[in-house]
Structure 1
Amino acid sequence: MTEKADNVKLPKTFELLDESGIGLDGAGGLLDERERRLLVGAANFHALAGPGRTFRFTVLRGPDGTLPSLTDTACHQIDWKDDREVVGSLVVRSLVHTTAKFSPSDGLVDLVVDVGGAPQTTSAYDQLTGLLGRARRTARFLAPVQFDALRQFRTDVVERRHRSRPVPRKAPVRLTRGTMARRPSTKRAVLFGLHWLELGGAERWALETVRMASEAGMVPIVLTDRPSTHPWIERPELDDAVVVPLTHPISPEQESAFLNGLLSAYDVRGVHLHHCTWLYERLPWLKSVRPDIPVVDSLHILEWRTGGFVDIAVRMSNMIDKHHVISPQLRDYLIGRQGVEPDKVELATLANLTTADIDRPGRAQEASGPFTVSFVGRFTQQKRPYLFLQLAAELRATAPGPVRFVMHGDGELAGEVMARRARLGLSDVLEVRGPDQPVARTLAETDALVISSDNEGLTLTSFEATAAGVPVVSTDVGSQASLIADDLLCPRHPFPFVRTAAERLRAMMTSPDQRKTWVDEQAVKAEAFAKLPDARTWTRDLYEGWLT
């Protein structure tokens, strides 16, 4: 393969034989950088699944908001929807080689891949169908706080049921040697499983581990398994990675061919899972053919309504050598509630992952201007930005002095945020900032940060606020109690949350001494938390061990 103009090498799973001006080598063309990388990801998959074969891709582009089709069974059909534009075509040959026993024919394989449309944020509720879906969608957007109150009662029921039962486990693989011995290779690699390449705390940590694998001298192979336009696929941490954004359904034959090709092309020294269901569910097969490959996962959050990735990890625990957890709550749940062996659970925190740019304390309480209350995070159902807006309306009516608000973020509920801001009469006191602006600037203007989430692990924004000297008012969820002052932990249910949070914020406004007391308590907890093992150090040592 050639080199991009910015000297980033394309992954060498295939070579480019011909193209119609698409610009796959990064020298300009018909695709933007995000689309180009999606196409490279598709070529990576098919080259690994079809060693030695030649592929001709017809490349489509869909309307804004449509999702890519890169590896699923639709790629083998040579027709497409009327609204798809044909961007061009290219021919590539797989550089992946296997033993003669597994060599396929040399015939040309025609594929159709769709890079989708420009990213567009939409709520999952917008995608509900049928009469019931329409009713839920209407209730959710007309009365989000009341709707959330019902959701929280349901969560209480599910949580009580969930806590009363152990998660069943997959039986272990007893093999000590698989049927395919390790192939000698100079391309030492780490296989990563990610949810998607979008903004998120788990994704930030995942990309940090990808960067560390590159720095250790190994090739990161990054799989994602969730539908997405993958806006983060352009991140520099992925420049030297083999990225494969999976789209489903994939035929069973191609799944095994892809993994066999990957294991043949690279000397995989370990697997690191970050919220990837597809790879979790293929661990038994992987351990049956390569029991020598160590497997670790990183876990962030308990999800009572669905079980989430923690329950998947427990179910597959017999295939996993180490569970990395970021909070004491997760450690205690795995060991105390689910009976995972203590030596398999590693607590290593993300305390300093995103605080490097927070280099000065937040503004003093005595600073001129109104008391500023901020929300920093994604505009998603989990973060409940509509609850912050309700709190803002309550405070505006009852605050003992001037108050202003900042909402810093973006996401699927962005449209709702703007509409409810106007409906609640907050347009003149509440500023909305996009993720293109630095969080450090917002924290420098903030007197108190509010976290209104209905579930968390341990938020990175809490660490950032602590580094900035800003007190955090938070729902008492996840392991937030490890860092937040006790009095600033509020009930998860929406109406008690608004009432309690408003009381604490009014107390800060009338008593700078009380605010300082809470800031000091938060700092003490942060100092104790900082003494726990660091995730970067633990992971760096882990990867060094995989090299030997």
Structure 2
Amino acid sequence: MTSDSPRVAMLSVHTSPLAQPGTGDAGGMNVYITELSAALARRGASVEIFTRRTSSAQPDLVEVASGILVRHITAGPFEGLDKNDLPGQLCYFSAGVLRTEAARQVGWYDVVHSHYWLSGQAGWLAADRWNVPLVHAMHTMARVKNLTLAPGDTPEPMGRIIGEEQVVTEADALIANTPAEAQDLITQYQADPAKVHVVTPGVDLEIFSPTGPGGADKAAERAGLGLAADAKIVVFAGRVQLLKAPDVLIRALGVLTDHGEEVPTLVIIGGASGRPTALRELEALAYQVGVSENVVFRPAVPRTELARWFRAADLVAVPSRSESFGLVAVEAQACGTPVVAADVGGLRTAVEDGVSGVLVPDHDPHRWAKVLAELLHDDVRRAALARGALTVAARFSWDTTAEETLKVYSLAARG
């Protein structure tokens, strides 16, 4: 492999890096692939991202930036397929990937880097056919997710677990976001420890910063977003699904109402994922617990707009039941906003408890209500956490992520 300028086949079957994060199946993985590809390209790599076409309007090829191409592969109908339907389209998708390489000179790609188990299945075939290493990133794992299911959520099927096991076995290298994820790969999937490499994601400190364009601070952002200058604002940003647990925040507001305490404004930014009724269910829950007037729903927004909401907030809440990392937490901290997060998975790496935010040990709405209320009423502590948030966020860099990923590519190529 030409390690100084590798040609990378990046696979993301079920979600395109061009999709808006925070809706459908688009989330942190989309940001990860986009930012990693950009950082790799800055180091001389050529990255081609293969993803499934979901619209007839999508061209075969999109040049995102110098050194980065997105290839749309037709595999099944453009619309109407749920993520759980996609295993039946992997053969078709894999054929499209292989045909792309067949039109090139022999040995065109140096490495296959797949994301999520569906991509790992397709990547396994491509890497085997091309005789190049397969580097895989799980992003989420069925066994881990099933251990922390929300009430009423559906367990991941055995078919996915088997598929993940196969990818773990066949990959030449596995990239984990955190030491905790690495340990899960080893204990839950019997991954060879020698194949597992911890590479922490980064954050774009130009977009996510304490001041916006023109030096806009919290007051200016609030004015621009139509928020009261003296309001207590908590922001949740992400896909609206049981796994991300925004319902915990609404129930926490209900607890504050029941106790006669001041109730902050909760801004939920994102679209329904998995369940098309997810937003309506949250609206109904807010009505049931008496906080409809305190909950504001906003659709997913571009990252520059998301940074404005983070700067405007007093706190950003990440109550996920399972999280391989938690990019939202780091992005919020980069804006100088403390984070209240669940004490799970990668959030333990993204948030430093008592320094950049607070980790909550469970999903009890009463506990979340207590933590939120205490922080919102303690300006001095929030200010200290805001300073700590900037320090913690500065540790994460996409350039470092790319450098470490290139090292993994080289190690995988050596066998």
TM over 0.5: yes
Listed as ranges, the matches of 1:508-547 within 5 Å are 508-519=375-386, 525-526=392-393, 530=396, 534-539=400-405
Partner of residue 280 from structure 1, selected from 117, 120, 124 = 120
Would the aligned equivalents of 1:372 and 1:403 in 2 still touch at CA under 8 Å? yes
Would the aligned equivalents of 2:124 and 2:171 in 1 still touch at CA under 8 Å? no
1:534 aligns to what SS in structure 2? helix
Listed as ranges, the matches of 1:246-395 within 5 Å are 246-247=75-76, 249=88, 258=96, 260-266=98-104, 267-277=108-118, 279-282=119-122, 285-286=125-126, 288-290=128-130, 292-303=131-142, 304=144, 305=146, 306=156, 312-335=163-186, 338-352=189-203, 354-360=204-210, 363=218, 369-395=230-256
Gap change, CA 1:396 and 1:534, over 3 Å in 2: farther
Q: Could you tell me how far apart the structure 2 residues matched to 1:439 and 1:310 are?
A: 34
What one-letter code is carried by the residue in structure 2 that aligns with 1:264?
A: A
Would the aligned equivalents of 1:213 and 1:220 in 2 still touch at CA under 8 Å? no
Gap change, CA 1:250 and 1:512, over 3 Å in 2: closer
Partner of residue 52 from structure 2, selected from 224, 240, 265 = 224
The answer on 1:244 being equivalent to 2:73 is yes
Gap change, CA 1:399 and 1:471, over 3 Å in 2: farther
1:241 aligns to what SS in structure 2? strand
Structure 1's unaligned 5+ residue stretches are 1-186
- The alpha-carbon deviation at position 328 of structure 1 amounts to 1.8
1:489 aligns to what SS in structure 2? strand
Would the aligned equivalents of 2:210 and 2:311 in 1 still touch at CA under 8 Å? yes
Would the aligned equivalents of 2:90 and 2:122 in 1 still touch at CA under 8 Å? no
Gap change, CA 1:421 and 1:294, over 3 Å in 2: same
2:244 aligns to what SS in structure 1? coil
1:190 aligns to what SS in structure 2? strand
Would the aligned equivalents of 2:202 and 2:397 in 1 still touch at CA under 8 Å? no
2:281 aligns to what SS in structure 1? helix
Would the aligned equivalents of 2:39 and 2:399 in 1 still touch at CA under 8 Å? no
Q: Could you tell me how far apart the structure 2 residues matched to 1:237 and 1:203 are?
A: 14
2:297 aligns to what SS in structure 1? strand
- The alpha-carbon deviation at position 544 of structure 1 amounts to 9.2
Q: Percent of aligned pairs with the same residue?
A: 19
What one-letter code is carried by the residue in structure 2 that aligns with 1:203?
A: N
What is the total number of aligned residue pairs between the two structures?
A: 349
1:297 aligns to what SS in structure 2? strand
Structure 2's unaligned 5+ residue stretches are 1-5, 20-25, 77-85, 147-155, 212-216, 220-227
- The alpha-carbon deviation at position 325 of structure 1 amounts to 1.3
1:382 aligns to what SS in structure 2? helix
Would the aligned equivalents of 1:325 and 1:345 in 2 still touch at CA under 8 Å? yes
What one-letter code is carried by the residue in structure 2 that aligns with 1:489?
A: L
Partner of residue 195 from structure 1, selected from 6, 9, 14 = 14
Q: Could you tell me how far apart the structure 1 residues matched to 2:328 and 2:33 are?
A: 17
- Deviation sequence 1:59-84 (CA, Å, 0-9, x none): xxxxxxxxxxxxxxxxxxxxxxxxxx
Q: Could you tell me how far apart the structure 1 residues matched to 2:116 and 2:138 are?
A: 8
- The alpha-carbon deviation at position 241 of structure 1 amounts to 3.0
Partner of residue 340 from structure 2, selected from 462, 473, 476 = 473
Aligned to 1:406: 267
Q: Could you tell me how far apart the structure 2 residues matched to 1:531 and 1:213 are?
A: 12
Aligned to 2:151: none
Q: Please state which structure has a larger fraction of its residues in helix.
A: 2
Structure 2 length as normaliser, TM-score? 0.69
Q: Could you tell me how far apart the structure 1 residues matched to 2:127 and 2:377 are?
A: 61
Q: CA RMSD in A?
A: 4.0
Aligned to 1:92: none
Structure 1 length as normaliser, TM-score? 0.54
Aligned to 2:370: 503
- The alpha-carbon deviation at position 355 of structure 1 amounts to 4.3
Would the aligned equivalents of 1:195 and 1:274 in 2 still touch at CA under 8 Å? no
Would the aligned equivalents of 2:134 and 2:412 in 1 still touch at CA under 8 Å? no
What one-letter code is carried by the residue in structure 2 that aligns with 1:195?
A: H
Q: Could you tell me how far apart the structure 1 residues matched to 2:94 and 2:342 are?
A: 44
The answer on 1:206 being equivalent to 2:33 is yes
- Deviation sequence 1:406-428 (CA, Å, 0-9, x none): 11222242233334334444343
What one-letter code is carried by the residue in structure 1 that aligns with 2:121?
A: E
Q: Could you tell me how far apart the structure 2 residues matched to 1:378 and 1:347 are?
A: 26
Would the aligned equivalents of 1:194 and 1:206 in 2 still touch at CA under 8 Å? no
1:243 aligns to what SS in structure 2? strand
- Deviation sequence 1:224-262 (CA, Å, 0-9, x none): 39xx6699989863984322142264596x678656533
Gap change, CA 1:545 and 1:317, over 3 Å in 2: closer
Q: Which has the larger radius of gyration?
A: 1
Gap change, CA 1:439 and 1:261, over 3 Å in 2: closer
Q: Could you tell me how far apart the structure 2 residues matched to 1:349 and 1:325 are?
A: 8
Gap change, CA 1:349 and 1:428, over 3 Å in 2: same
